[in-house]
Structure 1
Amino acid sequence: MAWRASLSRSVKEIRVLFCQSSPASAAAREFVKKNYGDIKSRNPSLPFLVRECSGVQPQLWARYEMGVERCVNLDGLTEAQIDKKLEELAKAGESANAK
């Protein structure tokens, strides 16, 4: 998980959206509960926003340079799969910044 330490170099903001009570959002809630502290401690200046809204489908958003955003639907994913999606979004930001 070395990529987490360099997350703030490739991503300008992370947003996680989920429902407070729906089963579809359970993995997203657990991911935030277990990983928020680690990600923030490694990237203290990176905005990591958690948005709860009744009935919303779980989503992971990454904002990059120039306001470009990418979204991943988290419905049906496990915590490990959500972590992998975040890593993919981080790597997408690295390649975009390299251009």
Structure 2
Amino acid sequence: MAWRGHLSRNLKELRVLFCQTSPASASTREFVQRNYTDLKTLNPTFPILVRECSGVEPQLWARYDFGVERCVRLEGLTETQITKKLEELVKVGAGLRA
């Protein structure tokens, strides 16, 4: 899980959007509760924005250099699958830097 420490190297910003109460966002809420502290500890100056909005579809947004953004829809994914999607976004950022 060394990729967790490379968020600030490969991304410019990470945004997590989800609903505070909907069942569709349950896994995303769980992901944030279990992983936010670890990610912030490994990337203390990196902006991780958590946005809660009633009725919104759970999404993960990654912003890279030059304003390039990628979005991953999280509805129906487990916490493990969400972690895998984040890892993929970090790897995309590594490829964009190369």
TM-score, with structure 2 as normaliser: 0.99
Q: How many residues align?
A: 98
- Runs of 4+ with deviation above 3 angstroms: none
Instruction: Name 1:56's counterpart in structure 2.
Output: 56
Q: Which residue of 2 aligns with 1:73?
A: 73
Q: Which residue of 2 aligns with 1:3?
A: 3
- Which residue number in structure 2 is paired with residue 97 of structure 1? 97
1:6 CA displacement:
1.3
Structure 2, gaps ≥5 residues long: none
Letter in 2 for 1:39: L
Q: CA deviation at 1:64?
A: 0.3
Distance 2:71 2:6 in 1: 20
Displacement of 1:7 in angstroms is 1.4
Q: Describe the superposition over 1:64-87 as per-residue Cα deviations: whole angstroms up to 9, x where unpaired.
A: 001110000000000000000000
Partners of 1:88 and 1:6 lie apart in 2 by: 12
**Aligned-residue RMSD, C-alpha:** 0.4
Q: In 2, Cα distance between the equivalents of 1:82 and 1:23?
A: 15
**Offset from partner CA, 1:16-54 (integer Å, 9 cap, x none):** 000000000000000000000000000001100000000
Aligned-partner residue type, residue 71 of structure 1: C
Q: What's the counterpart of residue 18 of structure 2?
A: 18
The percent of aligned pairs where both chains have the same amino acid is 69
> Matched residues in 1 for 2:67 and 2:41: separation?
24
Name structure 1 gaps, 5 residues minimum: none
